[in-house]
Structure 1
Amino acid sequence: MARLLFQTHTAAQTFAPSPRGNRRPAPAAPHAVGFLRALFPARPPPAKAELLRLIADQGRGLETQSDPSRLADIVSCIDALAASAPDADTVSDAAKLSGTWRLLWTTEQEQLFIVRNAPSFRTAAGDVLQVIDVPAGSLNNVITFPPSGAFVVNGSIEIQPPQRVNFRFTRAMLKGGNWEVPFPPFGKGWFDTVYLDDEIRVAKDIRGDYLVVERAPYSWNG
């Protein structure tokens, strides 16, 4: 019995886990984490560069209307961007979502119709903008006609995280330097911001249309 007790005690000593082995590594100091993030910033997904390449020569979407192959490639890139961060909350950060966004490419027929046919009215479409102000709950869609004209659609918005913005248009008008022609308000719906960074925003709306916009270097104030 004494030998058995001795063997048991010896086994316990042999297989007892080392106290040092149970220690958890100390968390990295916050300043060290920040330093590493600054040193190695997150890279944008490859699909972003490919998307910007594909839409660069598409006349904001006019050329894509007659090129189904290019459209398929662009949509594939948008899907890849959305899949790169499928659970990202793109609407709760008011400062990041708000701003003057300038159109790079879209499939929205109404906007493209105005851009295409502006020369028929002896003018040309300038910047096409989507102006979002989350704290104010407002949305303005703007097609400019330099030097002083614009077609403006005003609306209200409601944020629905993680990616949806519900909207209702309340007023529309065609504006000149010192005149304004009102149109009845029309339309409501939603759009999902499927990708957002400091430079671009990509959205898909209730009708299945796509929108790619960049943060404009200026603010539109109406």
Structure 2
Amino acid sequence: MRKASPNDVIDSFVQSTSDDLADWQIIDDSLHDLRLRRRVASDAFLALAVAWETFLSQWLIAAVNRDSSTAVTYLSQRPQDHATSELRVPQTHVSVTLITKNHFTLDLVRQLLDPNDNNVVLREHKDLKNFADRWLAANYRQQLSAITSYQFKPVLATRLVRNALAHQSESALKRANDELRKSTMPLALRITTSRQLNVDGWRRYLLSITSATPRLAVYHNELATTAQLLRVP
């Protein structure tokens, strides 16, 4: 039975991200109305945010499928803990071989991790290690856990700016403004103005130039770089 390849998932994301960026640049160069350029940039950014979420979910599922040993241990331990802690069954009366398969098919992994087909979503940096410790084996656990808080900032910023643009709620706008002003945010993504950005302000932000590169392009490049951190030799 052929197993999924997490590295193939990375290659696909990096290539599609590059293609999408090139397409946006062609469209942007053809537009002369600034309002339309901002709207197109916003749409391209939302597509990028969804693409990242889909990519990470596919990589996590592929990694568990590639080596299911940690997942088997975790799932076996849960009913044992429930039996001994909640039901007060003596440890000597609990089977240690509840799960008899040592490899999970791709379909089974999807069923376990993403039963509603909504993607496996890791929202905050701390979620990476929590997921890795529970589900990922050996090298895959190491790669995901090794991503630092700073390296995760572009992923966090992508989610927060997406929420500001898509939900347009007061709380979403405030969280994005607060987080992207922090000194811990990479300078290329950081807000440097004192005013609070509204929805139109975030559209302007995506087209603003940092180091001769529009921020939308920076996001494409940063997420591709983050994806490469998950590559296992």
TM-score normalised to the size of structure 1? 0.25
| Higher share of residues assigned strand | 1
Larger Rg: 1
| Higher share of residues assigned helix | 2
